[in-house]
Amino acid sequence: MGEVGWASRRAGADDDEVAQIGGGFLKQAFGLCGKRDSFTSFRSRCFIAMAKRKRRPTAVIKLQITGGQANPAPPLGPALSQHRVNIGQFLNQFNEATRDQMGVPLPTVVRIYANGAFDFEVKSPPASYLIKRAAEVAKGSGQSGRESVGSISRAQAEEIARQKMEDLNAKDLECAVCMIEGTARSCGIQVTD
């Protein structure tokens, strides 16, 4: 891969010279045997070949983990150990990254690679958690259409929508606020003006 990257940066080389640099690999990979392609098309094919070699995860796990307080208990421990991930290393990295969001449930996407390496992406807290925290209630209503357990203002709903905007599939803030209002209704919390 180093030869291909080096060959693609040699702006003054013609196709035959570049094919000699990479040897048989370039001839097989890019079909340079007997063909006269322009250097720019050869260069673009080199970058496409490099992009195809990018690591692809063998598993993608979606979990909801408490920020700063992750531990190897279920569901986290078994979900990671079945893919042979070093659980201690994951817990240290996750707890360090989410130390400022202590106690907040955080949706997390963990990508696991063939050699046991991993990376994770922490998303914003669930809308229902943010709504219940704004309404200062511990739990939503069991009968959301009939019973109300609290209320939030429209300004609070807009604040939650701004915080959740990157994770929502809304085209603008107004649509995101409507989604947050619907989630609040389903929790038994009213949105007042």
User: What is the CATH T-level fold of the domain 59-122, as seen in this structure?
Assistant: Ribosomal protein L11, N-terminal domain (3.30.1550)
- Amino acid 55: pLDDT: 81
**DSSP string covering 137-164, please?**
-SS--SSTTT---EEEEHHHHHHHHHHH
Q: What is the pLDDT along the chain (193 residues), one digit of tens a residue?
A: 444 444 444 444 455 544 444 444 444 545 554 444 554 555 555 555 554 556 899 999 999 999 999 999 999 999 999 999 999 999 999 999 999 999 999 999 999 999 889 999 999 999 999 999 999 999 998 888 889 999 999 999 999 999 999 999 999 999 999 999 999 999 999 999 8
Do the domains at 59-122 and 127-192 have one common CATH topology? Answer: no
What is the domain partition of the chain in residue ranges?
A: 2-52, 59-122, 127-192
- Amino acid 9: pLDDT: 44
- Amino acid 46: pLDDT: 52
- Amino acid 144: pLDDT: 82
- Amino acid 193: pLDDT: 85
Q: What is the pTM of this model?
A: 0.69
- Amino acid 8: pLDDT: 44
- Which CATH architecture group holds 127-192? Orthogonal Bundle (1.10)
Positive or negative, the CA dihedral 22, 23, 25, 31 is positive
Residue of 122, 133, 135 lying closest to 166 (CA atoms):
122
N- to C-terminal Cα separation, the chain: 60
- As a dihedral over the C-alpha atoms of residue 35, residue 36, residue 41, residue 47, rounded to 10 degrees, the angle is 60
